[in-house]
């Protein structure tokens, strides 16, 4: 596409695209970013459109898809400053963290009741989805989610109160064999 026809396309549809982007995002900066990204994508891929009469539809569809990709993700996973979440974070003593290892966690996992151990193991160690776990265990997805939450909480308690931590073996620095 030559620069003149690109400029003509921008002049023809910019205002309508901007208004559409503003209605979706609700902020002028975000709307401008959406329109800019849409025209960038047109510059990259617009030549693939066989029927140029469908350019307007392509632009609006692309802007909408960019909005979905950008802002729905941000809504589902909002950026939160860590300082704002300190009250919500579980308290785990640093000494407990320094003593944890894979074996300790596995031992604590064995201490969970089977009803919680199975979903936790399938989710975290086997990377199965909620749906797959529900199929394997033949229970509803809601039950899987509930058991995962409860199992994680029990596992956290086992690990933080120290009941799952192995007893430490103390080896004296000066043993009887080395003494003269």
In tens, the pLDDT along 10-64 reads: 888 899 899 998 888 888 999 999 999 988 988 888 777 777 777 888 888 888 9
- Residue among 68, 3, 66 at smallest CA distance from 35: 66
Q: How many CA atoms lie within 13 A of 165 on its CB side?
A: 16
- Residue among 22, 18, 33 at smallest CA distance from 66: 33
Q: Are 133 and 123 in contact (CB under 8 A)?
A: yes
What angle in degrees, to the nearest 10, is found between the helix axes of 141-160 and 102-111? 120
CATH 1.10.1740.10 placement within the chain: 3-76
pLDDT of 87-141, one tens digit each? Answer: 665 555 555 455 557 777 888 888 888 889 889 988 888 888 999 999 889 899 9
**CATH class of segment(s) 3-76:** mainly alpha
- Spatial distance between the Cα atoms of 50 and 52, rounded to a whole number of angstroms: 6
Is 94-160 a domain of CATH 1.10.10.10?
yes
């Amino acid at each position: 596409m030559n620069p003149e026809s690109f400029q003509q396309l921008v002049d023809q549809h910019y205002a309508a695209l901007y208004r559409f982007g503003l209605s979706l995002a609700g902020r002028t900066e975000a709307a401008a970013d959406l329109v800019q990204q849409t025209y960038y994508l047109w510059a990259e891929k617009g030549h693939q459109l066989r029927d140029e009469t469908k350019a307007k539809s392509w632009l609006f569809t692309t802007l909408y898809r960019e909005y979905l990709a950008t802002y729905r993700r941000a809504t589902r996973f909002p950026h939160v400053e860590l300082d704002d979440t300190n009250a919500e974070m579980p308290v785990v003593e640093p000494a407990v963290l320094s003593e944890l290892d894979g074996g300790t966690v596995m031992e604590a996992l064995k201490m969970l009741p089977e009803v919680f151990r199975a979903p936790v193991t399938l989710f975290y160690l086997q990377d199965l989805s909620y749906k797959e776990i529900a199929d394997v265990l033949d229970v509803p997805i809601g039950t899987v989610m509930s058991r995962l939450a409860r199992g994680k909480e029990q596992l956290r308690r086992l690990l933080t109160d120290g009941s799952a931590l192995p007893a430490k073996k103390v080896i004296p620095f000066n043993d009887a064999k080395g003494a003269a």
